[in-house]
Amino acid sequence: GGSDASSGGGDTDSESGSDTTVAAAAGNDMPAPFDEGPVKIAIVQNSGAGDYFQQWTAGANLQADLIGFEVQIFDAQADNAKQATDMETAIGLGVAGIIVDHGQTDTMCPLINDAIEKGIKVVIYDIAIAECAPDAVETSQSDADLATLVLTQMAADVGKDVSVGYVNVLGIAPLDRRHVIWDEMVTANNWSQDFFVGEFTNSVATDNARLVDAALRANTGVSAIFAPYDEFTKGTVSAIEQSNLQDSIRAYGIDISNADIEIMTKDGSPWVATATTDPNAIGAGVVRTMALELAGEQDSRTVQFPGVLVTQDFLRENSITNMDDLRVSLPALNLTDTSSADWIPSLEFK
Amino acid sequence: MTSMFELRDITKSFGTNQVLRGVDLDFEPGRVTALLGANGAGKSTVIKVLSGVHEYGGTISLDGAPITVDSPGTARRLGIEAVHQKISDGVIPGLSVAANLLFDEIVTNETSRFASSRSLLPKAKEMASILDLGWTDAQFKGDVDDLLLADQQLLLLARALVRKPRLLILDEPTSALSKAEADRLFEVIEQLTEAGVGVFYVSHRLREIDRIADELVVLRDGQIRGRYEPPFEWSSALDDMLGQTRAETEERNDEMQGTSDVLALQGVQLLPKADPLHVTFRAGEVTGVFGLLGAGKTELASGMFGAAPFKVGAMTLNDSPYSPRSPSAAIKAEVFMVPEDRAAGTLVGDWSIARTSSLPFLSAVSSLGVLNAKSEHDVGEDVIKSFGVVANSAKDPVIALSGGNQQKVVVGRWLKEQPAVMILDEPFQGVDIGARHDLVVRVREVAKAGSAVILMSSDLEEIMQAADRVLVLVDGEIQHDTYLSQTSREEILDSLVTS
Amino acid sequence: MSTTANTDTTGTKGLAPAATRAFSAREFAVRYGFIIVTILFYAFFYWTEPAFRLETTFFSMMKFTSVVAITGLGITTAMTVGGLDLSVGSTAGMSVTISAMTMVIYAQSAPLAVGAVLVGGLLIGAMNAFLIVVLKIPDLLATLAMMFSIQGLKLIPVDGQSVSSGLILRDGTVAPGKFTEGFLKLDRGFVGPVPYPAILMAILTIVMWFFLTHTKWGRVMYAIGSNPEAARLAGVKVGLYKAGAYMISGVMASISGLILSSRIGQGDISAGASLLLDGIAVALIGTSVLGANRPNALGTALGAVLMGILITGTTIRGYPFYLQDVVKGAVLLLALVFSFTLSRKKHRHQPAVPM
Amino acid sequence: MSTTANTDTTGTKGLAPAATRAFSAREFAVRYGFIIVTILFYAFFYWTEPAFRLETTFFSMMKFTSVVAITGLGITTAMTVGGLDLSVGSTAGMSVTISAMTMVIYAQSAPLAVGAVLVGGLLIGAMNAFLIVVLKIPDLLATLAMMFSIQGLKLIPVDGQSVSSGLILRDGTVAPGKFTEGFLKLDRGFVGPVPYPAILMAILTIVMWFFLTHTKWGRVMYAIGSNPEAARLAGVKVGLYKAGAYMISGVMASISGLILSSRIGQGDISAGASLLLDGIAVALIGTSVLGANRPNALGTALGAVLMGILITGTTIRGYPFYLQDVVKGAVLLLALVFSFTLSRKKHRHQPAVPM
Ligand SMILES: Nc1ncnc2c1ncn2[C@@H]1O[C@H](COP(=O)(O)OP(=O)(O)OP(=O)(O)O)[C@@H](O)[C@H]1O
Ligand SMILES: Nc1ncnc2c1ncn2[C@@H]1O[C@H](COP(=O)(O)OP(=O)(O)OP(=O)(O)O)[C@@H](O)[C@H]1O
Ligand SMILES: [Mg+2]
Ligand SMILES: [Mg+2]
Distance CA D310, CA B65 (A): 59
pLDDT for the residue numbered D349: 42
Distance CA D117, CA D230 (A): 36
Distance CA D44, CA D331 (A): 14
Q: What angle do CA D119, D124, D128 make, to 5 degrees?
A: 145
Sequence-ordered list of residues with C-beta below 8 angstroms from that of B250, at least 6 positions apart, any chain:
none
Phi, psi of C319 (to 5 degrees): -60, 140
Distance CA D169, CA D183 (A): 22
Atom of ligand 2 nearest to the CA of B473: 21
Q: How many domains does chain B have?
A: 2
For chain B, give the mean pLDDT. 86
Mean pLDDT of A10-26: 46
Q: Which chains touch D (3 or more CB pairs under 8 A)?
A: A, B, C
Q: Is B40 in the pocket of ligand 1 (CB under 6 A)?
A: yes
Poorest-pLDDT segment among A338-342, B155-159, B224-228 = A338-342
**Interface membership of C350 toward D (CB under 8 Å):** yes
pLDDT for the residue numbered B293: 62
Nearest to A107 by CA among C196, C261, C275, C161: C261
- Domain contains B112: yes
Poorest-pLDDT segment among A19-28, C183-192, D312-321 = A19-28
Q: Of all protein residues, whose CA lies closest to atom 16 belonging to ligand 2?
A: B294
Nearest to D305 by CA among D70, D44, D54: D70
End-of-domain residue from the set B214, B242, B270: B242
Poorest-pLDDT segment among A311-315, A339-343, B450-454 = A339-343
Mean pLDDT per 10-residue section of chain D, whose length is 355 residues: 34 38 68 85 90 82 92 96 92 95 94 97 97 89 87 87 77 83 89 92 97 94 91 94 97 96 83 84 84 87 92 80 81 77 54 27
- Three-class secondary structure of residue B395 per DSSP: coil
For chain A, give the mean pLDDT. 85
In this complex, the residue of D269, D317, D318 whose CB is nearest that of residue A49 is D269
**Interface membership of B142 toward C (CB under 8 Å):** yes
Burial class (CB in 10 A: 0-12, 13-18, 19+), B248: exposed
pLDDT for the residue numbered B399: 83
Mean pLDDT of A253-264: 88
Reported residue count of chain B is 499
Mean pLDDT of A303-326: 90
What pLDDT digit, counting tens, does each position of A174-223 carry? 888 899 999 999 999 999 999 998 887 656 787 788 889 888 888 888 99
End-of-domain residue from the set B242, B276, B310: B242
Q: Is B222 in the pocket of ligand 1 (CB under 6 A)?
A: no
**Amino acid (1-letter code) at residue B240:** D
Q: Give the gap in angstroms from C-alpha B293 to the nearest C-alpha of chain D.
A: 21
Q: Is the pLDDT of residue C14 over 50?
A: no
pLDDT for the residue numbered C23: 57
Query: Both B198 and B281 in a single domain?
Result: no
Say if CB A244 and CB A217 are below 8 A apart: no
- Range of the structural domain that residue B324 is part of: 260-498
Q: B362: domain CATH number?
A: 3.40.50.300
**ipTM for this model:** 0.76
Smallest CA–CA distance from B81 into chain C, residue:
C234
Q: Give the gap in angstroms from C-alpha A81 to the nearest C-alpha of chain C.
A: 5
Confidence at A350, pLDDT banded by 50, 70, 90: low
Burial class (CB in 10 A: 0-12, 13-18, 19+), D346: exposed
Smallest CA–CA distance from A107 into chain C, residue:
C264
Q: Is the pLDDT of residue A241 over 80?
A: yes
- Three-class secondary structure of residue D255 per DSSP: helix
Atom of ligand 1 nearest to the CA of B43: 21
Q: Hey, what's the torsion of the CAs at C202, C206, C211, C214, to 10 degrees?
A: 170
**Interface membership of C353 toward B (CB under 8 Å):** no
**Interface membership of C144 toward D (CB under 8 Å):** yes
Confidence at A162, pLDDT banded by 50, 70, 90: very high
Confidence at C346, pLDDT banded by 50, 70, 90: low
pLDDT for the residue numbered A339: 85
Share of chain A above pLDDT 90, in %: 43
pLDDT for the residue numbered B251: 57
Instruction: Give the side-chain half-sphere CA count within 13 A for D154.
Output: 33
The DSSP H or E segment spanning A116 is: helix A105-117
Q: Of all protein residues, whose CA lies closest to atom 16 belonging to ligand 1?
A: B42
Query: Both B283 and B409 in a single domain?
Result: yes
pLDDT for the residue numbered A256: 86
Domain chopping of chain C, boundaries: 34-342
Instruction: Give the side-chain half-sphere CA count within 13 A for C247.
Output: 13
In this complex, the residue of A17, A217, A321 whose CB is nearest that of residue D54 is A217
Smallest CA–CA distance from B432 into chain D, residue:
D2
Please state the separation of Cα C86 from the chain's center in Å: 11
For the ranges B83-97, C154-168, D105-119, the maximum mean pLDDT occurs at D105-119
Confidence at A23, pLDDT banded by 50, 70, 90: low
Q: Is B404 in the pocket of ligand 1 (CB under 6 A)?
A: yes
Q: Is the pLDDT of residue B185 over 70?
A: yes
Smallest CA–CA distance from C212 into chain B, residue:
B114
Distance CA D353, CA D355 (A): 6
Distance from Cα D16 to the centre of ligand 1, integer Å: 20
Query: Both B106 and B16 in a single domain?
Result: yes
pLDDT for the residue numbered D351: 30
Instruction: Give the E-state strand segments of B221-313 in sequence order.
Output: 223-228, 261-268, 277-282, 285-290
In this complex, the residue of C135, C153, C346 whose CB is nearest that of residue D354 is C346
pLDDT for the residue numbered C185: 93
pLDDT for the residue numbered B329: 94
For the range B206-212, what are the long-range contacts, defined as Cβ-Cβ under 8 Å and sequence gap of 24 or more? B206/B36, B206/B234, B207/B461, B208/B174, B208/B182, B209/B34, B209/B36, B211/B186, B212/B32, B212/B34, B212/B186
- Three-class secondary structure of residue D272 per DSSP: coil
For the whole model, what pTM was predicted? 0.80
Q: Of all protein residues, whose CA lies closest to atom 24 belonging to ligand 1?
A: B39
pLDDT for the residue numbered A161: 93
Q: Give the gap in angstroms from C-alpha B433 to the nearest C-alpha of chain D.
A: 10
Phi, psi of A63 (to 5 degrees): -60, -45
Q: Give the architecture-level CATH label for domain D34-342.
A: Orthogonal Bundle (1.10)
Q: Is the pLDDT of residue A104 over 90?
A: no
Q: Of all protein residues, whose CA lies closest to atom 19 belonging to ligand 2?
A: B294
Q: Is B295 in the pocket of ligand 2 (CB under 6 A)?
A: yes
Q: Is B178 in the pocket of ligand 2 (CB under 6 A)?
A: no
Phi, psi of C155 (to 5 degrees): -90, -15
Confidence at A24, pLDDT banded by 50, 70, 90: very low
What pLDDT digit, counting tens, does each position of C270-326 carry? 888 889 888 988 998 888 787 777 899 999 999 999 999 988 898 888 888 788 888
- Domain contains B249: no
Pick C7 or A256 by higher pLDDT. A256
Q: Is B299 in the pocket of ligand 2 (CB under 6 A)?
A: yes
Distance from Cα B148 to the centre of ligand 2, integer Å: 6
User: Which residues of chain D have a CB within 8 Å of the CB of C137?
Assistant: 333, 336-337, 340-341
What pLDDT digit, counting tens, does each position of C212-258 carry? 988 999 999 999 998 888 888 888 899 999 999 999 999 999 999 99
pLDDT for the residue numbered A18: 41
